[in-house]
A and B are shown apart, each in its own frame.
Chain A
Amino acid sequence: MIKQAVLSVIVSAASLVAMGSDDLVAIPGGSYVPFYPQKGTTTKTPVPPTLVESFLLDRDPVTNRRYLEFVFQHTEWRRSSIKRIFADSGYLQHWNNDLSILPEDLDKPVVNISWFAAEAFCEAKQERLPMTDEWEYVLEDLGRGKASRMQQVLQWYSIPNRELPQAGNSPPNGFGIRDMVGAIWEWTEDFNSFMASPDSRDSGQRNMFCGGGSLNASDPTDYASFMRYSFRSSLQGDFTGRNLGFRCAKDLK
């Protein structure tokens, strides 16, 4: 009991200097060419453009601080009480215990989070996880700065995990969104519903990969996108990872 009281003080005091913002940013709708089509939607190559409607998206990934506030209220999502079917044993493993974390980590993106937990967090705020199309559309940023982004992404993807930076660390993209790449992987609502196969060279069906490249991918030289989609396809809802966090989205209406 005493412990909890002390923690809540830390939480609220630290709120004053919070780095990552919990702002939602309005994203104007538009269309983009997804790297892979969604399962069962098309077997066409090239992949046709997908329409994305206007929506709201967190400016920054959700931080440990915001997640701490959440589990403070929603006890069933604490590390010691979460049901195993909702998160594997890595859940919040970088925290000291249910409600404490190193102060310097407070404003870093929260990681070691399962899809179920991320979903619950967003729901508690009447929000949701972004769809993969929405997430990728925002990353694509209407084609702004594509070449440099691809190289930056590739560079980050190819080095093993290091200390995480504070959330909100990177310059905003054209939509005003920060940290989409360069710090963590992020959950999406429909992370597993794209046609990236677990064996990327699957050649049996026409609507799967072919040979070493891919019949289906919209740009077979875009290694960075290959990595994101294969990362997502390696996940299940209860998985957690030291570099896997999330941000929330919301319908505009």
Chain B
Amino acid sequence: MKTFKALLTLGLLLTANTGYCDIGSQDKNVREKIIGQETAVLTDAPAVPPPITRKHATKVIVNLEVKEVEGRLADGVQYTFWTFGGKVPGKFIRIREGDQVEFHLNNHPDNKMPHNIDLHAVIGPGGGAAASLTAPGHSSHFSFKALNPGLYVYHCATAPVAMHVANGMYGLILVEPKEGLPKVDHEYYVMQGDFYTQGKNGEQGLQPFSMVKAIDEKPEYVVFNGAAGSLVADNALQAKKGETIRLFVGDGGPNLTSSFHVIGEIFDNVYPEGNTNTVTHNVQTTFIPAGGAAIVEFKTHVPGTYILVDHSLTRAFNKGALAQLKVSGDEEKLIYSGKITDDVYLPEGTGMRNAEQTKVAQPSAATKQERIKLGEVVYNTNCAACHQLTGLGVPQAFPPLAKSDFLNADKVRAIKTVTGGLQGNLTVNGETFNGVMPAWSLSDEEIANVLTYVYSNWGNSQQEVTPDEVRRHRVTPGKNGSE
């Protein structure tokens, strides 16, 4: 661990010395001499091509085939994916800073759609998109020089872009810095994406793409590596206790950003936004924008199963954004004990009162003056956020309570409004509002107090509202008599 971090720090110093933070420092990459030629090794997730050991720039040939294929999105749920290389996410591409890339995009003849590619690692209009628009059964090629190191997303940019991306057309390209990345025991490739099916989550069979849900940004599935459960059980990521792990994490979107987290781990190092020049340490959750990436590194200390999630948790537990890392090895009690005991918990004093569990008595107002005082507290905690401390409300959003004709005209209606909630068109002092006020689950006493407070202030009618009145006119939420 120490050496691991030390190595990184060393790496940092090195890059700092070579001055990468200057704008335009990539210019010397433009001039770097190209020696030799090779064909890029491409891998399917979660595999990552081997680190580049070359000490010079070369010409790298990338052959990427676009295939439209039917595959598994979740158990019993099939989907037609559009892919870079047959799987979602697309093939991982690894090149070195300064390399000259000859990129061939091959659109399989069985495909129905034209496709292209926008690599965020490319500097040039469209990131290669216009140069690579390719009809089915055709192949186009273009070339670029990798000027900036980092981890970049690539994706299809053919109209309708959102649909091509929603169908799985994204992947990662690593432009490895000249000095390389510190050595680790495992490197894995994980990419999140959101999917929009016509059927609800879990609905069986081949599910067509839903344009409506995509436009509404309401995915049925949010998954890692193209399918719910693609990295669990036998397919879980593997490591041994004490090993170092590097995850190349991307978010293809098309719409959602990821709050990437590994439950039970702390990232020792994060290269935020895929930027290999900056390292932050001891990160719990890292933010990955749609169309962005991050590199995270950590050392495993305690054996067990670790869950990778988008920490926007309903995505993880209801829509599929969940993967596993299994760490094998002997237990490590010093770092993590596991459960030691399970005892009955009795907070101080609870034993005594259990028998006569009375409701905590609320202070009850004896005079109107007291009612106003207690009502002020209720108002400030429950109502002021919208109607403001001044009672003046917010134009076009929250109506005024100060001198409100709606309020002053009818005490019973006011009780119904607060107990039952209110929504729809409403005119207060000549101004129209169309908002929603939730029903308030406050006691009769509290409502009496808050309304008395409101009536007694800001030029209102000075009426008193009693708990008994509230009890008589209280309505169940949604049924107030004001419509």
Residues of A within 8 A of B (CB): 88, 90, 150, 154-155, 157-161, 185, 196-202, 204, 209, 212, 214, 221, 223, 226-227, 229-231, 233-235, 239-243
Kindly provide the distance from the CB of B73 to the nearest chain A CB, expressed in whole angstroms.
Answer: 13
Please state if B158 and A200 are interface contacts (CB–CB under 8 Å). Answer: yes
Q: Which of A160, A209, A241 contacts B137 (CB 8 A)?
A: A241
Smallest CB-CB A-B distances: 5 pairs = A234-B114, A200-B159, A199-B129, A199-B126, A160-B68
User: Are A209 and B68 within 8 A (Cβ)?
Assistant: no
> Considering only CB atoms, which chain B residue lies closest to A214 in the complex?
B159
Can you list, as one digit per residue, whether each of B319-359 has a CB less than 8 Å from chain A (1) or not (0)?
00000000000000000000000000000000000000000
Residues of A within 8 A of B211 (CB): 150, 154, 221, 223
Q: Which of B95-142 contact A (CB under 8 A)?
A: 109-114, 116, 118, 125-126, 129-131, 133-138
Jot down 30 A-B pairs with beta carbons below 8 A, ordered by A.
A150-B211, A154-B208, A154-B209, A155-B208, A158-B167, A158-B208, A161-B112, A196-B159, A198-B116, A198-B131, A198-B133, A199-B133, A199-B157, A200-B160, A201-B161, A202-B130, A204-B125, A221-B211, A223-B163, A226-B163, A227-B113, A230-B114, A230-B159, A231-B114, A233-B133, A234-B114, A234-B133, A234-B134, A235-B114, A242-B136
B174 → chain A, closest Cβ, in Å? 24
Residues of A contacting B112 in the complex (Cβ-Cβ under 8 angstroms):
157-161, 185, 243
Query: Does residue B80 face the partner (Cβ distance < 8 Å to A)?
Result: yes
CB contact under 8 A between A227 and B136, given known A160-B68, A234-B114: no
A231 lies within 8 A of B126 (CB): no
Given A198-B129, A201-B129, A242-B110, CB of A234 within 8 Å of CB of B162:
no
Q: Closest residue to B69 on the A side, CB-wise? A: A160
Query: Is B215 engaged at the interface, CB distance under 8 Å to the other chain?
Result: yes
Binary interface profile of B, 260-293, with partner A (CB < 8 Å = 1, else 0)? 0000000000000000000000000000000000
Considering the complex, give the chain A residue whose CB is closest to the CB of B165. A212
A159–B136 Cα distance when bound, in Å, is 13
Q: How far is the CB of B87 from chain A (nearest CB, A)?
A: 15
Secondary structure type dominating chain A contacts: loop
CB-CB contacts below 8 Å: B52-70 with A: 67-70
B110 near A160 with CB under 8 A, answer: yes
Q: Is the CB of B116 within 8 A of A227?
A: no
Residues of A within 8 A of B163 (CB): 158, 223, 226-227
Q: How far is the CA of A239 from the CA of B439 in the complex (A)?
A: 65
* Residue from B70, B116, B138, B215 in contact with A221 in the complex, judged by beta carbons closer than 8 Å: B215
A200 to chain B: which residues have CB within 8 Å?
129, 157-161
CB contact between A160 and one of B80, B158, B159 (< 8 Å): that residue:
B80
Which residue, of B67, B114, B163, has the highest number of chain A Cβ atoms within 10 A? B114
Alpha-carbon distance A88/B131, docked complex (angstroms)? 20
For B135, list chain A residues within 8 Å (CB).
231, 234-235, 239, 241
Residues of chain B within 8 A of A221, CB atoms compared: 211, 215
Return the contact of A241 from the options B68, B109, B157, B158 (Cβ within 8 A): B109
Query: Cβ of A199 and Cβ of B137 under 8 Å apart?
Result: no
A209–B136 touching, CB < 8 Å = no
Cβ-defined contact, B137 with A159, below 8 A: no
CB distance from A162 to the nearest CB of B (A): 9
CB neighbours of A235 from chain B (8 A): 114, 135
Given contacts A160-B68, A160-B80, A209-B159, contact A199 B134 (CB under 8 A): no
